[in-house]
Structure 1
Amino acid sequence: MSEVSKWPAINPFHWGYNGTVSHVVGENGSMKLGLKDNDDQVEFDEFVNKYVPILKNGAHFNLSPYLFTGILQTLYLNAADFSKKFPVFYGREIVKFSDNGVCTADWVMNSWKKEYKFDQITRKFDTKKFGNDEKATHPEGWPRLQPRTRYLRDDELKDLGEVDLPLVVILHGLAGGSHEPIIRSLAEGLSRDGRFEVVILNTRGCARSKITTKILFTAYHTIDLREFLQREKQRHPNRKLYAVGCSFGATMLGNYLGEEGDKSPLSAAVTLCNPWDLLLSAVRMNEDWWSKTLFSKNIAQFLTRTVQVNMGELGVPNGSRPDHPPTVKNPSYYMFTPDNLVKAKRFKSSLEFDEVFTAPALGFPNAMEYYNAASSINRVDTIRVPTLVINSRDDPVVGPDQPYSIVEKNPRILYCRTDLGGHLAYLDNDNNSWATKAIAEFLTKFDELVV
């Protein structure tokens, strides 16, 4: 019997478009939240029930009747043309870290809609002026950016955070970045009313970023978020910080929250479609026919392209040997060879990629042991930040059987389980995401009402 047969598979005939939210609450109840306007305290789940009706226990939501399974929801999100929706302008910053690595931070620049004469109806703007500014700010040797994105000038970088707004940091999924429709939907929803400053932290090598060290990101990779939040707290000590993680970004966020415990400067966090148990999700993606056939190969090929375009930094000649064997504390990335890259182009699953590249780089004998060790479920008990969790039971990437019994032991976590939505989708008739709207409403109310 294969491992995956021990767990229920995604049923492609489980269908519907009228979804329901169910709360999974800690066995000791929810943590108490203090409210600004009075001395009262309210439990986390009751706060959501009272002030965030879109997410209250038993709330209903409507999705597109044409996308009536999680598989269809997820396929459509990744295949349809969303270029005219969520027209966010981004100003890019190259962020340097203590290990000499870099990532890119894409700041939502709503003021640029006026500067570049953006028309909300036609979705047109002054592309000539934007193009000239993009060309003038683009660093030599860096890849061309996605639409409506350019690098920030020095004076623009200094102006970030001039208004003392709370900041929301968004972490994207494994095969994505700030350009993803679901990330743009979330960024637009959070920044629309001017309550939050919003930034997307693009993982090293993603969203047309460069890798500058011999380190490729993994589920263990929490240094960028940690140092970025520390920097922002030092720059603006009095403003609140929030974080939202999507898919693999949610795994990184969950691991960060568990590692930091009480030291995290975040006031609250949200995870969307987190594969809490990476081992369980990896087995499904490798053995479940629907997940393997429709999604797994695309993820593997994205990871392979990330390695390919960064071989100048990651790669070593065939036959090279490390001076010391790789370990978790002292990784040596000597598996990024031309031969392995050729092999990787034939991969059909992310498990194959992690078997050849990720696990050896971290000192693990195989991908399964890496997944088992790197799962954010291992660190859930030490999360001390109020954390809202949203997962769908018809998610073809994560699967229907996430370990609620472990999550519910921590009263700081409120698990909102939905029966429909797919992976990072939740698309309605207008191709808007119910999930990103729900996250924006939760963070707005939390920031408005909670001490």
Structure 2
Amino acid sequence: MSEVSKWPAINPFHWGYNGTVSHIVGENGSLKLSLKDSKDQVELDTFVNKYVPLLKNGAHFKLSPYLFTGILQTLYLNAADFSKKFPVFYGREIVKFSDNGVCTADWVMNSWKNEYKFNQKTTSFDTGKFGDDEKATHPEGWPRLQPRTRYMTEDELKEIKKVDLPLVVICHGLAGGSHEPIIRSLAENLSRNGKFQVVVLNTRGCARSKITTKNLFTAYHTMDIREFLQREKQKYPDRKLYAIGCSFGATMLVNYLGEEGDKSPLSAAVTLCNPWDLLLSAIRMTEDWWSKNLFSKNIAQFLTRTVQVNMGELGVPDGSVPDHPPTVENPSYYNFTHENLMKAKHFKSSLEFDELYTAPSLGFSSAMEYYKAASSINRVDKIKVPTLIINSRDDPVVGPDQPYSIVEKNPRVLYCRTDLGGHLAYLDNDNNSWATRAISEFLSKFDELIV
């Protein structure tokens, strides 16, 4: 009997398009929140039930009847053409960290929609002026960016730093970035009403960013989130900060929240489709027929391409030995050789990638050992920030089993379980995401009503 058979597999014949939200709350209730302009307090669960109709316990939502399983939802999100949906403009900033590494922050620039005019004939924004501005601001030697994204000028960066609206930081999924449809949908929903400043923090090496140190991101890689939030809090100490983590970005965010405890400057956080138990997800992606054949290889090749395009920094001569014993705090990337890269190009799962690269670089004996240690389920009990969790039971990447018993013990966490939605999808008839609307509604009401 294979190890994955201990858990129920996703059933591709379990179908529907009328979804339901269920709250998972512990016997001690949930965190009490203080309302603005009132001495009253309201529990997190009650707050959502009263002020966030999309997410209240028992709420129903409709998805596309053509995408009637989580597998179809996830496949369509990753395969369909969303180029004309969610036309968000981003201004890119290169963010430098204390270890001399960099990532990129893509700030939502709604004002650019007026500057770069919409062409009714082509149903897209004119690229002429935008292309000129993109060339003028693009740093030498850096990869070409995704549509509607360019680097900002020094003056534009100064203007961004003057904005003191509540800030929402979005953390994307594995080897993804600001260009992903679901991330653009989130950014568009959150920035539409002008209540929030929104930024996507692209992980090192992702979204056509460069890697400038030997430090590649892992589930343990929480230092960039920490430093970026600290930087933003220092600029405007009194404004609220929020964070959203999607998929692997949710794992990193929860690990950060658990490590940081009550020191985090965040007022609230949201996770969407977090693979809570990385070990369980890895087994599912390698042994469950549907997950293995439809999704696993694509993820492995995304990771391999991230390594390939950054071999100039990561790569070391074949046969080299580490200059120090690898640990989580002090990783060593001696295994990023050209020989190993050739092997990785044939990988069919992220487990193979982590077995060759990630686990050894952190000092773990195997990918399974790394997954056990790095899973965010280990740290959810230490979260001190009000946190909304959304996971679907028909998610082909995460699977139907969720950490209810552990979540129930932390009153600061509200688990919204849905029966439908797939992985990061939740697509309706118009290819809009119910989940991104729900998250936007939650943060909008939280910022409006909670101290």
TM bin (shorter chain): over 0.9
Q: How does 1:23-422 map onto structure 2 within 5 Å?
A: 23-118=23-118, 123-422=123-422
Aligned-residue CA RMSD (Å): 1.0
- State the alpha-carbon separation in 1 of the partners of residues 261 and 328 from structure 2: 21
3-state secondary structure, aligned to 2:446: helix
3-state secondary structure, aligned to 1:198: strand
Q: Which amino acid aligns with 2:396?
A: P
Deviation digits for residues 141-185 of structure 1, max 9, x if unmatched? 000000000000001001114232100000000031000000000
Deviation at 1:325, TM superposition (A): 2.6
Is 2:434 the partner of 1:431? Answer: no
Does structure 1 conserve the Cα–Cα contact (< 8 Å) formed by 2:84 and 2:124?
A: no
Does structure 1 conserve the Cα–Cα contact (< 8 Å) formed by 2:119 and 2:126?
A: no
Deviation at 1:421, TM superposition (A): 0.1
Does structure 2 conserve the Cα–Cα contact (< 8 Å) formed by 1:178 and 1:200?
A: yes
More divergent stretch after superposition (244-253 vs 21-30): 21-30
Structure 1 length as normaliser, TM-score? 0.99
- State the alpha-carbon separation in 2 of the partners of residues 401 and 244 from structure 1: 22
- State the alpha-carbon separation in 1 of the partners of residues 162 and 115 from structure 2: 18
Deviation at 1:115, TM superposition (A): 1.1
- State the alpha-carbon separation in 2 of the partners of residues 123 and 246 from structure 1: 29
Does structure 1 conserve the Cα–Cα contact (< 8 Å) formed by 2:269 and 2:387?
A: yes
Q: Which amino acid aligns with 1:32?
A: K
Deviation digits for residues 17-75 of structure 1, max 9, x if unmatched? 00000000123110000000211000000000000010000000000000000000000
Q: Which amino acid aligns with 1:196?
A: F
Does structure 2 conserve the Cα–Cα contact (< 8 Å) formed by 1:300 and 1:347?
A: yes
Does structure 1 conserve the Cα–Cα contact (< 8 Å) formed by 2:358 and 2:367?
A: yes
- State the alpha-carbon separation in 2 of the partners of residues 323 and 258 from structure 1: 31
- State the alpha-carbon separation in 1 of the partners of residues 82 and 121 from structure 2: 15
Does structure 2 conserve the Cα–Cα contact (< 8 Å) formed by 1:185 and 1:436?
A: yes
Deviation at 1:320, TM superposition (A): 1.1
- State the alpha-carbon separation in 2 of the partners of residues 367 and 208 from structure 1: 26
- State the alpha-carbon separation in 2 of the partners of residues 326 and 105 from structure 1: 29
Q: Which amino acid aligns with 2:388?
A: L
Does structure 1 conserve the Cα–Cα contact (< 8 Å) formed by 2:175 and 2:306?
A: no
Unaligned runs of 5+ in 2: none
Q: Which amino acid aligns with 2:278?
A: L
- State the alpha-carbon separation in 1 of the partners of residues 20 and 92 from structure 2: 38
- State the alpha-carbon separation in 2 of the partners of residues 28 and 276 from structure 1: 22
Deviation digits for residues 87-114 of structure 1, max 9, x if unmatched? 0000000000001100000000000011
- State the alpha-carbon separation in 1 of the partners of residues 77 and 424 from structure 2: 8
Structure 2 length as normaliser, TM-score? 0.99
3-state secondary structure, aligned to 1:399: coil
Deviation at 1:329, TM superposition (A): 2.8
Deviation digits for residues 349-377 of structure 1, max 9, x if unmatched? 00000000000000000000100000111
Q: Which amino acid aligns with 2:299?
A: I
Deviation at 1:425, TM superposition (A): 0.1
More divergent stretch after superposition (101-110 vs 312-321): 312-321
Q: Which amino acid aligns with 2:344?
A: A
Does structure 2 conserve the Cα–Cα contact (< 8 Å) formed by 1:87 and 1:123?
A: no
- State the alpha-carbon separation in 2 of the partners of residues 244 and 293 from structure 1: 29
3-state secondary structure, aligned to 2:339: helix
Deviation digits for residues 376-404 of structure 1, max 9, x if unmatched? 11111110000000000000000000111
More divergent stretch after superposition (325-334 vs 390-399): 325-334
- State the alpha-carbon separation in 2 of the partners of residues 27 and 317 from structure 1: 56
Deviation digits for residues 265-311 of structure 1, max 9, x if unmatched? 00000000001111111111111110011000000000000000000
Unaligned runs of 5+ in 1: none
3-state secondary structure, aligned to 1:242: strand
Partner of 2:448: 448
- State the alpha-carbon separation in 1 of the partners of residues 310 and 51 from structure 2: 46
3-state secondary structure, aligned to 2:11: coil
Q: Which amino acid aligns with 1:253?
A: L
- State the alpha-carbon separation in 2 of the partners of residues 89 and 197 from structure 1: 13
**Residue 122 and residue 165 in structure 1: after superposition, are their counterparts in 2 closer, same or farther (change >3 A)?**
farther
Deviation digits for residues 231-265 of structure 1, max 9, x if unmatched? 00001111110000000000000000000000000
Does structure 2 conserve the Cα–Cα contact (< 8 Å) formed by 1:161 and 1:236?
A: no
Does structure 1 conserve the Cα–Cα contact (< 8 Å) formed by 2:191 and 2:197?
A: yes
Q: Which amino acid aligns with 2:378?
A: N
Deviation at 1:316, TM superposition (A): 0.5
**Residue 379 and residue 127 in structure 1: after superposition, are their counterparts in 2 closer, same or farther (change >3 A)?**
same
3-state secondary structure, aligned to 1:261: helix
Does structure 2 conserve the Cα–Cα contact (< 8 Å) formed by 1:103 and 1:201?
A: yes
- State the alpha-carbon separation in 1 of the partners of residues 106 and 428 from structure 2: 27
3-state secondary structure, aligned to 1:136: helix
Identity %: 86
Deviation at 1:120, TM superposition (A): 7.8
Deviation at 1:116, TM superposition (A): 1.2
Deviation at 1:224, TM superposition (A): 0.6
Deviation at 1:121, TM superposition (A): 8.9
- State the alpha-carbon separation in 2 of the partners of residues 119 and 256 from structure 1: 43
Deviation at 1:124, TM superposition (A): 2.8
